[in-house]
């Protein structure tokens, strides 16, 4: 039976729910000790003095480290980030000098024999500062926004100012709008806190059990920092309890743990606190946007201008693709985009859940709704009238695009026919009822990846690749892909991940894991068949590799011809097992097409006119993401994304008290995320048509489109319910009163 498409339960589900799955903070090693970080309490300035005497004398303390006495990191002399091309500048060098760049910056560390003693002693470290005036207020500093240096150097950079047709053409149009939108900083807040267990096995051999989305990237980063060969760095991340982007590159706390392990010459465990998750592992940057839009009376877009300014730190330029979709989403002759970044005295942001595209979609898809309202047109009809069958930016055909189908299917399921064009016209008892929709898109990316397969005499096949599974069920999908490629049942296949010693894989991000790693897995299965055929000798040599059957106990040709057991085959060739590797690269035909996944999110809301309380009563998300490998895990991922989008729309905001430049949201009591009670039954529809331009599996990626477009769908539904257009997220009840 074909496995791809089946709603197979997670291969590691039992391990996860029984607690048998070990996460980075649960690793036990002999002589393990604990490190706790001390953070700066000012946002900008210098450390005048660190008094660590009391801490050093506290029970169980092995070391108190800071820039004054920490072992030097050899790679810190280097100017540019070694592994992260999308972030320019110098990443924060922990314990490097006396400079403070943000409030909550790690400036010292206590290492002790127990976590409790380390935590206690960390409170005894006294720090004196020379304070400088800090700037953390986005709007007070907005005129300091600059063009990213990439765009300055290269006018063809996707971040550079872009004009198609006439610049700012909307300004002279008769039917136009101009709206500003604000996306607050948001933090990823996965359930699992960031944690690392670092162990120097020799002076030039490092092993880390690390929470990361990229075991290979982490290996390269630490090899660069410590100036040791990459193969001397072993990075293990077997289980990751969510990440949403904050594990896409390494952070200072990881280096801190490695410094500590070097200093005390014992394995060191360091786990961030929930509060430290707000300042040490990135966040979605505070972003201001403005959309100018014009249309003809019959609903044809004539111009869009989309501007964005995203926050970054004073020491690194973080950029993201906030405006990319505006260039390609709709048929529109005149497009202008302008992207700027604003350095503030804060820590550096990183991609978060659907990253810049999700931020950009909030503005674009809200503006589309505003224009539809102005035209007195149904928002779906407005989008249909501006549908484009080729990519108007790249001037290439889409590989596949079923966006219209998504709109039609989703509209039926949500009950769009119950929607009124007039806001506030539908009621359920005393609640106002509204319907909204938003479109999401994200590049159908693929990176080069490798995989290794090992066949054991009993017919078990172990496949390995250095990817991770931050939650979507990567291992499960890979087993299904391999089962079909080999024509065997999934229970004979083990997929292993999360180890830098495995064949290369890109980081798990950008919705590309199945396309990248899945292609390599498919390839390695074919290679395994070829090798088995070769081992089979003359009896198999004339056959097509596709026709070689892999049975329970051995290989054969159709009709059980030439059957030979794995054990015999291996023995004949004096092999204990058969090991093959393969790599998969993005196909050349991709260059002639524009490849994107698409989604449409539909929301039904009820708003209470007296209290402003918003209830989400129904969600339908439809995805055009190519082949769906596993209906169950893919639907889980879509629902997770939709929930994240509801968080973005209604709850999430990381808030800084600008007097101190310090976050006041520092745990999940103040930083709100949706809980079960906030979410109704969510329906997911998959178009599930393979995109064979994308890769041989036909996948396009789900991770980001699960969320992109959801927040504007909620905001548009709230408008439809109340007539109130909220352009400043999150839409809290006070904004509706």
Of 285, 434, 509, 712, the one binding ligand MOS (CB under 6 A) is 509
- Got the DSSP string for 199-238? EEEETTEEEEEE--S-HHHHHHHHHHHHT--GGGEEEE-S
Shortest reach from residue 114's CB to ligand MOS, in Å: 33
Q: Cα 711–714–715 angle (5° rounding)?
A: 85
Buried (b) or exposed (e) across 264-285, using 16+ Cβ within 10 A? bebbbbbbbbeebbbbbbbbbb
Cα 397 to Cα 388: distance, rounded to the nearest angstrom: 10
Site for ligand MOS in 653-692 (CB under 6 A): none
Shortest reach from residue 100's CB to ligand MOS, in Å: 28
Shortest reach from residue 246's CB to ligand MOS, in Å: 8
Shortest reach from residue 414's CB to ligand MOS, in Å: 27
Closer residue to ligand MOS (CB): 490 or 510: 510
From 162-170, 243-251, 307-315, 440-448, span contacting ligand MOS (CB under 6 A): 243-251
Closer residue to ligand MOS (CB): 355 or 554: 355
Active site residue 26: no
The answer to whether 285 contacts ligand MOS (rule: CB under 6 A) is no
Q: How deeply is 615 buried, as exposed, middle or buried, from its count of CB atoms within 10 A (0-12, 13-18, 19+)?
A: middle
Closer residue to ligand MOS (CB): 106 or 644: 644
Shortest reach from residue 230's CB to ligand MOS, in Å: 23
Q: How deeply is 242 buried, as exposed, middle or buried, from its count of CB atoms within 10 A (0-12, 13-18, 19+)?
A: middle
Closer residue to ligand MOS (CB): 264 or 281: 281
Closer residue to ligand MOS (CB): 217 or 355: 355
Site for ligand MOS in 338-367 (CB under 6 A): 351-353, 355
Shortest reach from residue 703's CB to ligand MOS, in Å: 6
Cα 71 to Cα 415: distance, rounded to the nearest angstrom: 63
Q: Which of 192, 316, 365, 704 is catalytic?
A: 704
Nearest alpha-carbon partner for 292 in 206, 152, 180, 440: 180
Assigned token pair, 433: 């009822």
Task: Give the strand pairing for 205-210 and 233-236.
Answer: parallel
Q: Cα 308–643–665 angle (5° rounding)?
A: 65
Closer residue to ligand MOS (CB): 434 or 626: 626
What is the x/- site pattern for ligand MOS, positions 198-227, by CB under 6 A?
---------------x--------------
Closer residue to ligand MOS (CB): 199 or 216: 216
3-state class of 677 per DSSP? Answer: helix
Q: Which residues neighbour 510 within 8 Å (Cβ) at sequence distance 6 or greater?
A: 442, 443, 445, 701, 703, 704
Residue nearest to ligand MOS (CB): 245
Shortest reach from residue 649's CB to ligand MOS, in Å: 18
Shortest reach from residue 530's CB to ligand MOS, in Å: 34
The answer to whether 368 contacts ligand MOS (rule: CB under 6 A) is no
What is the x/- site pattern for ligand MOS, positions 145-174, by CB under 6 A?
------------------------------
Closer residue to ligand MOS (CB): 457 or 509: 509
Cα 293 to Cα 76: distance, rounded to the nearest angstrom: 47
Cα 569 to Cα 136: distance, rounded to the nearest angstrom: 67
Assigned token pair, 271: 């786990």
In sign, the C-alpha dihedral spanning 93, 96, 101, 107 is positive
Residue 653: φ, ψ to 5° = -165, 125
Closer residue to ligand MOS (CB): 188 or 529: 188
From 241-249, 251-259, 271-279, 324-332, span contacting ligand MOS (CB under 6 A): 241-249
Cα 70 to Cα 92: distance, rounded to the nearest angstrom: 15
Nearest alpha-carbon partner for 91 in 331, 350, 393: 350
From 50-58, 142-150, 242-250, 642-650, span contacting ligand MOS (CB under 6 A): 242-250
Shortest reach from residue 686's CB to ligand MOS, in Å: 20
Q: Half-sphere exposure of residue 455, counting CA atoms within 13 Å on the CB side?
A: 32
Cα 6 to Cα 29: distance, rounded to the nearest angstrom: 39
Closer residue to ligand MOS (CB): 55 or 352: 352
Site for ligand MOS in 694-713 (CB under 6 A): 703
Closer residue to ligand MOS (CB): 281 or 483: 281
The answer to whether 248 contacts ligand MOS (rule: CB under 6 A) is yes
Shortest reach from residue 352's CB to ligand MOS, in Å: 6
Closer residue to ligand MOS (CB): 302 or 599: 599
Of 104, 106, 217, 245, the one binding ligand MOS (CB under 6 A) is 245
Shortest reach from residue 518's CB to ligand MOS, in Å: 16
From 121-129, 240-248, 409-417, 536-544, span contacting ligand MOS (CB under 6 A): 240-248
The answer to whether 510 contacts ligand MOS (rule: CB under 6 A) is yes
Assigned token pair, 289: 């946007």
The answer to whether 383 contacts ligand MOS (rule: CB under 6 A) is no
Shortest reach from residue 195's CB to ligand MOS, in Å: 18
Cα 442 to Cα 476: distance, rounded to the nearest angstrom: 23
Shortest reach from residue 444's CB to ligand MOS, in Å: 13
Nearest alpha-carbon partner for 469 in 242, 627, 282, 642: 242
# residues near ligand MOS by CB under 6 A: 11
Q: Which residues neighbour 102 within 8 Å (Cβ) at sequence distance 6 or greater?
A: 40, 43, 44, 279, 313, 345, 346, 347, 661
Cα 600 to Cα 715: distance, rounded to the nearest angstrom: 14
Cα 687 to Cα 410: distance, rounded to the nearest angstrom: 11
Nearest alpha-carbon partner for 252 in 130, 102, 129, 132: 102
Residue 78: φ, ψ to 5° = -60, 145
Closer residue to ligand MOS (CB): 272 or 358: 358
Cα 737 to Cα 734: distance, rounded to the nearest angstrom: 5
Nearest alpha-carbon partner for 683 in 593, 603, 596, 624: 603
Q: Which residue has the tokens 């991609």?
A: 351
Is residue 269 within 8 Å of 35, Cβ to Cβ?
A: yes
Cα 240 to Cα 234: distance, rounded to the nearest angstrom: 17
Nearest alpha-carbon partner for 628 in 520, 472, 461: 472
Binding site for ligand MOS (CB under 6 A): 213, 244-245, 248, 351-353, 355, 509-510, 703
What is the set of active-site residues?
Answer: 704
């Amino acid at each position: 039976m074909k496995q791809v498409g089946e709603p197979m339960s997670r291969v590691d589900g039992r391990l996860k729910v029984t607690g048998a799955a070990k996460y980075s903070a649960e690793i036990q090693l002999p002589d393990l000790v604990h490190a706790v970080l001390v953070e700066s309490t000012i946002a900008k300035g210098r450390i005048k003095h660190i008094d660590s005497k009391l801490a050093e004398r506290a029970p169980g303390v092995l070391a108190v480290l800071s820039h004054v006495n920490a072992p030097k990191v050899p790679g810190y002399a280097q100017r540019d980030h070694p592994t992260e091309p999308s972030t320019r500048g110098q990443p924060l060098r922990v314990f490097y000098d006396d400079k403070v760049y943000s409030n909550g910056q790690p400036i010292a560390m206590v290492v002790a024999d127990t976590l409790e003693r380390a935590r206690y002693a960390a409170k005894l470290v006294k720090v004196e500062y020379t304070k400088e005036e800090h700037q953390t207020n986005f709007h007070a500093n907005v005129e300091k926004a600059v063009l990213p240096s990439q765009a300055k150097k290269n006018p063809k950079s996707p971040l550079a100012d872009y004009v198609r047709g006439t610049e700012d053409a909307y300004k002279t149009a008769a039917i136009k709008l101009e709206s500003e939108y604000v996306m607050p900083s948001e933090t990823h807040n996965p359930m699992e806190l960031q944690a690392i267990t670092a162990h120097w096995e020799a002076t030039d051999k490092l092993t880390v059990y690390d929470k990361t989305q990229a075991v290979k990237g982490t290996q390269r980063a630490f090899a660069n920092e410590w100036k040791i060969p990459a193969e001397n760095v072993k990075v293990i991340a077997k289980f990751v309890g969510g990440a949403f982007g904050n594990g896409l590159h390494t952070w200072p706390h990881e280096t801190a743990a490695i410094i500590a392990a070097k200093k005390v010459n014992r394995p060191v465990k360091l786990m961030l606190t929930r509060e430290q998750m707000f300042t040490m592992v990135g966040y979605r940057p505070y972003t201001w946007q403005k959309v100018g839009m014009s249309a003809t009376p019959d609903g044809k877009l004539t111009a869009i201008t989309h501007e964005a300014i995203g926050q970054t730190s004073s020491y690194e330029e973080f950029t993201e693709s906030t405006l990319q979709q505006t260039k390609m989403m709709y048929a529109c002759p005149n497009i202008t985009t302008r992207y700027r970044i604003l350095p503030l005295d804060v820590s550096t942001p990183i991609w978060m859940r659907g990253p810049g595209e999700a931020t950009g979609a909030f503005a674009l898809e809200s503006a589309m709704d505003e224009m539809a309202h102005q035209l007195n047109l149904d928002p779906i009809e407005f989008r249909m009238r501006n549908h484009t069958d080729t990519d108007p930016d790249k001037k290439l055909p889409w590989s596949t695009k079923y966006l219209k189908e998504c709109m039609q299917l989703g509209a039926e399921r949500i009950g769009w026919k119950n929607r009124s064009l007039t806001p506030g016209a539908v009621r359920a008892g005393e609640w106002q009822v509204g319907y909204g929709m938003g479109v999401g898109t994200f590049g159908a990316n693929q990176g080069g990846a490798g995989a290794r397969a090992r066949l054991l005499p009993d017919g078990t096949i172990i496949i390995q690749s250095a990817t991770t599974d931050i939650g979507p069920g990567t291992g499960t999908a890979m087993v299904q892909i391999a089962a079909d490629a080999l024509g065997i049942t999934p229970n004979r296949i083990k997929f292993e991940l999360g180890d830098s010693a495995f064949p290369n894989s890109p980081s798990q991000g950008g919705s590309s894991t199945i396309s990248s790693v899945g292609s390599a897995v498919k390839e390695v299965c074919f290679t395994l068949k070829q090798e088995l055929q070769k081992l089979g000798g003359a009896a198999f040599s004339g056959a097509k590799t596709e026709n070689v059957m892999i049975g329970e106990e051995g290989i054969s040709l159709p009709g059980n011809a030439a059957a030979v057991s794995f054990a015999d085959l291996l023995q004949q060739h004096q092999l204990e097992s058969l090991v093959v590797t393969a790599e998969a690269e993005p196909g050349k035909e991709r260059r002639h097409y524009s490849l994107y996944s698409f989604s449409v999110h539909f929301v039904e809301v009820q708003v209470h006119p007296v209290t402003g309380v918003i209830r989400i009563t129904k969600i339908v998300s439809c995805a055009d993401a190519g082949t769906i490998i596993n209906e169950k895990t893919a639907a889980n991922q879509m629902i997770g994304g939709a929930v994240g989008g509801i968080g973005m729309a209604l709850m999430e905001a990381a808030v800084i008290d600008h007097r101190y430049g310090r976050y006041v949201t520092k745990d999940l009591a103040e930083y709100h995320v949706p809980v079960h009670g906030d979410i109704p039954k969510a329906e997911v529809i998959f178009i599930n048509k393979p995109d064979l331009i994308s890769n041989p599996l036909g996948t396009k990626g789900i991770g980001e489109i699960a969320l992109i477009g959801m927040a504007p769908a909620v905001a548009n539904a709230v408008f439809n319910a109340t007539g109130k257009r909220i352009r400043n997220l999150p839409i809290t009840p006070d904004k509706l009163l």
